[in-house]
Each structure stands twice: as structure tokens, then as C-alpha cells.
Amino acid sequence: MATRGFTGRPSGGDQSERIPPGQHLVDYFPVLTAGPTPNIEPGDWKFTLKIGPRPVKAWNWAEFNSLPMTKMTRDIHCVTSWSKLNTAWEGVLIDDILADAGVEHPTDFLLAHSFDGYSTNVPLADLASGKAMVALKYEGKAIPRDHGGPARLLVPHLYFWKSAKWVNGLQFTERDEPGFWELRGYHIYGDPWKEQRYSGD
């Protein structure tokens, strides 16, 4: 339905094929978070990999920083409708975390957990094969607190709530267990190209 009198602003031009349906381009970096912004010192930072309830390996900040580093420049898409192109990240691929722990494919699903109690579910297929990382740098610098520093998950091909800020662990689960927003009305998978914003979409 056309809205009377609405013309919209000039489109993203030849970039428009990179913007999923219902999204608009921003050049700044909006912040959306459901609670207070945690303050985590690298000395207090710890990342734990679990299979079900069982911890398999944990890394402190120095240990985690000695894992292989990978750079990734990707477009990101927030469910509140903004998209940002060419965001540059650096961190540890999920593949490299699993390899360091000697874990291959115990189940098909994972939950990412964060220092503030946040969680989000992502299938292994969307984390492995170079698709996702635990990012430690944004645009060449430490990730600002507001954007999830010291470390955040980056799963750029899904809506950005899947890229958990202040991430402190990954947990393999038997089934696809809904996380924080997935329990609060948001889509279980969250593919921006299919506009999977809310459950039922």
C-alpha cells in the first residue's frame, strides 16, 4: 500500500541489492540493548565451551588472544530495520575455537551466552565453515563497550541480535533451544533476506 505523500529518501543506489527487504541504510552505528551495559575488564574475562552442561574448555583473555585471528568485513542487519555496510571485524573463527578444544560436531545446535545473562541460539551450520567469529576488534580497535566489548559474537548473515554482545561462552544443545529474544516473540532463526523478524514470520 502506498502511503499518501511519502516519497522516501534517495535509495542506496547500486548498493540496494545488498539491503534486505524492510531495511534501511545507516552510516552510524546504533546501539540497542535490553539492559545495562556491562563493564568487563580483560582480567575478569573468560570464555567457556560446553557440551550440554559439561564444560569442555575455557580460555582467559590472553589464551583466547593467542588463537588464530581472522579478519571479516561484512554487511550487518538489525531487526529494528537498520543495515550497515562493510563493517570490519577481527577475531577468532568459531571453527578455530572448536579446533582448539578438539570438538567437532557433538550436536547440530548451539546457544551463545553472555556476561549479562543474555543468550541466543544459532545452528552449528551457521557458525562453522568460516561464517561466524568471536570478534575482538571493530574497525581495527578494541570493540567499544556499547557494541559488546571486549568480545562479541559475529554472525553477520542473521539479524544482529544473534551476534551476542559481551559473549562469554558457547554451549552445544541437543535441540534448538530458544534464547533471550527468541523466548520473547522474536524469530527462532532470523534470516534478514526472508524477513524472519518475529516468531510466525
Partner 1 sequence: MIEHTTPIGWQIGTISEIVQRTPSIKSFFLRLAQPFTHVAGQHVDIRLTAPDGYSAMRSYSIASDPSRSDTIELVIENLQGEVSAYFHEVAVAGDEIELRGPLGGHFLWPEHESGPILLIGAGSGVAPFMSMIRHRRSGALTVPTALLLSARTRNDALFAEELISSEDGDPNFVLALAITREAPWRASDFSRRVDEAMIKDVVGRMPSAPSHVFICGSNGFVNVAADGVLASGLAPSVIKTERYGG
Contacting residues toward partner 1, per CB under 8 A: 1-9, 11, 22-24, 28, 30-38, 80-82, 116-117, 146, 180-181, 183-186, 198-201
Q: In this structure, which amino acid lies at residue 4?
A: R
CB-wise, 62 or 142, nearer to partner 1? 142
Q: How far is CA 21 from CA 6, 27, 28, 198, in A?
A: 18, 18, 20, 14
Residue 122 and residue 70: Cα distance in Å, rounded?
20
107 vs 157: CA distance, rounded Å: 21
Could you tell me the smallest distance in angstroms from the CB atom of residue 87 to partner 1?
Answer: 17
> 5, 6, 10, 28: which one contacts ligand FAD (CB under 6 A)?
28
User: Is residue 80 close enough to count as binding ligand FAD by CB under 6 A?
Assistant: yes
Question: Residue 115 has what DSSP assignment?
Answer: T
β-bridge mates for residue 113, sequence order: 119, 169
Helices (H) and strands (E) in the chain, counts: 3, 11
> Rounded to the nearest whole angstrom, what is the least distance from the CB of residue 28 to ligand FAD in the complex?
3
Should residue 6 be labelled a site residue for ligand FAD when binding is judged by CB under 6 A? no
Task: Choose the one of partner 1, ligand FAD, none that binds residue 173, judging by a C-beta under 5 to 8 angstroms depending on kind.
Answer: none
In the list partner 1, ligand FAD, none, the entry touching 4 (Cβ below 5 to 8 angstroms by class) is partner 1
Tell me how crowded residue 190 is: count the other CB atoms within 10 A of its CB: 27
Contacts with ligand FAD by CB under 6 A lie at: 28, 80
